Structures are given as structure tokens and as C-alpha cells.
């Protein structure tokens, strides 16, 4: 278990000590998607659902999710996030909404989990707001697209 940093010498979970790591600018981008019936996608696009502006609410939810990441992922550090941007791309040909989150900070640990959480919470919010008309929606392909900063440097999928 020596390669797994979230375990102590006894093999129990721990939050990694980042005290000696330098402060660097860190940016992570994650993406995912939610597929739905074409009729549901049209309602989202036209803001025709009774619960309101689905993408507006999902955007705020994604930002809140990123900020709350250490509350739901046990070993994540509480971070001072300096920027969170959630964007949506409606793909009518495949009847889905593509979600992207970019999260930034200047700190001693990265923001990958915050970006992934932002995408997940945005997708779950879309599902919640549309489930009355479409319970067959599928959330999929949530992944890290890129990250910069820190000891491991740059990563691109």
C-alpha cells in the first residue's frame, strides 16, 4: 500500500498531509453527459419544464457541488477555490447535454475532485428537474479531461 497516499502505515485511511507542498496555480477540467428523450431535451432547451430553467439551476448546483466536495468525499481537503465555471452543450443529434466544469485554485493540492463533483452534481440536478417527464435519462462518461499544476504537472486525456 506504500504507493497509495491515502493510507497510513497501519493501512487505515488518512487525509494526506500537504503542508510541505508548494503553493501553485491548479486548474482541472472535467466533463460528462446526460442522455434523454428528444422531447425532454426540447423542454430543457425551451425552458418548458414546470420546475424552471433546468440549465440555470444545474449551473448553480454544479458550483455549489464543487464548493462542498470535502463535505461528501471524506479525504478531500477543504480548498479556497478561486474560480468555478460550468458550461453546457446541447447535442440534439444524440439527444444529450454535455457538461463541462473548470475549477481553479492556488494551493497545495489539486482540484480534480471538485471538477468531477461539479459535473456530477450538475448532471444529477438535470435528472432531478426532468425526472417527472423522463425517468430513462442516463448520466455517463464523467471523467477528468485535464489538469495543470502540482508535482505531477500537466495531464491531458
Active site residues: 128
* Three-class HEC string of 24-55: EEEEEEEEEEEECCHHHHHHHHCCCCCCCCHH
Burial of 107 per CB tally in 10 Å (0-12, 13-18, 19+)? buried
C-alpha cell at 129: 428537474
Distance of CA 113 to the CA centre of its chain: 7
Q: Beta 96-107 vs 81-91: how paired, if at all?
A: antiparallel
Amino acid at each position: 500500500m506504500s504507493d497509495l497516499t491515502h493510507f497510513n502505515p497501519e493501512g487505515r485511511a488518512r487525509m494526506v498531509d500537504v503542508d510541505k507542498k508548494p503553493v501553485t496555480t491548479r486548474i482541472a477540467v472535467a466533463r460528462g453527459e446526460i442522455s434523454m428523450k428528444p422531447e425532454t431535451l426540447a423542454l430543457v432547451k425551451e425552458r418548458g419544464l414546470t420546475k424552471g430553467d433546468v440549465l440555470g439551476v444545474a449551473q448553480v448546483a454544479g458550483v455549489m457541488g464543487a464548493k462542498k466536495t470535502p463535505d461528501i468525499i471524506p479525504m478531500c481537503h477543504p480548498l479556497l477555490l478561486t474560480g468555478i465555471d460550468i458550461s453546457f452543450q446541447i447535442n440534439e443529434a444524440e439527444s444529450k447535454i454535455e457538461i463541462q466544469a473548470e475549477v481553479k485554485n492556488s494551493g497545495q493540492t489539486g482540484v480534480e475532485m471538485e471538477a468531477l463533483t461539479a459535473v456530477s452534481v450538475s448532471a444529477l440536478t438535470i435528472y432531478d428537474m426532468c425526472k417527472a417527464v423522463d425517468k430513462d435519462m442516463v448520466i455517463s462518461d464523467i471523467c477528468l479531461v485535464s489538469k495543470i499544476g502540482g508535482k505531477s504537472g500537466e495531464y491531458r486525456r
